[in-house]
Structure 1
Amino acid sequence: MITIYGIDTLLNANKAKMSDVLHGCMTRVLGLPEDKRAQRFVPLDKSNFYYPGGRSEQYTVIEISMIAGRSEASKKQLIKEIFAAFERELAIPPVDVEITLFEQPAHCWGFRGMTGDEATLNYTINV
């Protein structure tokens, strides 16, 4: 599950392409299948989105929740890939992107009427 926050006018104008860019990173680095796109965009009025100094109105916060099990190298590669892809494909520089990965054990996830440790997935977690 990915949640993306940003100023409404800029986020809404870019969200379709941003969705494709993020999903491309997830499939390339983590091996997620094409149909495993779970994203939520949260466009905020400028008056409700405070961001650190030295950032522009393109400042974008990306929170990625995932089942634990990926290697440190894979997680670092994913973060770096997102920074590079946002700059290359969306013209959003790395200074304007904040990424946080949240991991929970499989038993803490619930989907398709079961917990994550009971589910059979069509992709590998331990990459």
Structure 2
Amino acid sequence: MPQIKIYGLEECLKPKRELLSNVLHSCIVEAFKYPLDKSAHRFFYLDQKDFYYPQGRSKQYTIIEISLFEGRSIESKRMLYKLIFERFENEMGISANDIEITLTETPIYNWGIRGKSADELLLDYQIRI
């Protein structure tokens, strides 16, 4: 299950957080074949004075950091990016230019979940897709 952090200006991000979470989760489910009930999203609301972002971005600029088990194919990652860029624009009006996504993959044994090392768990989804 990926752990996801979403950063953006509070005034822009907070009103859309539920929709953004749902849209983002739908992208993860489709691209990575995740179960619907697996989501862990954390929102980090920033004040304008604390958030410097690249020139040419709008106030909607949003950073998405996804930590997950290693193993997804390049194709599935590209599919995830494509889905996020398309759905954020179509469903929330956030331009692809205002989205940055970082995937950080670590070995499954580097995760502790439900009282065990994750490599000892029986998962209900595939990692190698």
Please indicate, yes or no, whether the TM-score normalized by the shorter chain is above 0.5.
yes
Determine the C-alpha separation between the residues in 1 that align with 2:49 and 2:124.
42
SS of equivalent to 1:26: helix
In the other structure, the counterpart of 2:38 is 36
Matched, 1:86 2:94: no
Deviation at 1:125, TM superposition (A): 0.6
State the Cα distance separating 1:68 from its structure 2 match: 0.3
The alignment's C-alpha RMSD in Å is 0.6
TM-score by length of 1: 0.98
* CA displacement at 1:41 relative to structure 2: 0.5
| Partner-residue secondary structure (3-state), 2:43 | strand
C-alpha displacement of 1:116: 1.3
Aligned-partner Cα distance in 2 for 1:62–1:26: 12
Structure 2 residue aligned with 1:126: 128
How many pairs were matched up?
127
Alignment counterpart, residue 115 of structure 1, candidates 109, 114, 117: 117
Structure 1: tracts of 5 or more residues without a match:
none
* Structure-2 residue corresponding to 1:98: 100
CA drift of 1:14 comes to: 0.4
Aligned residue for 2:6? 4
Measure, in 2, the Cα distance between the counterparts of 1:28 and 1:44. 29
> For 2:124, what is the secondary structure of its paired residue?
coil
Using the alignment, how far apart are the partners of 1:43 and 1:32 within structure 2? 27
Tell me the equivalent position of 1:63. Answer: 65
Q: Percent identity?
A: 48
Match of 2:119, SS state, is: coil
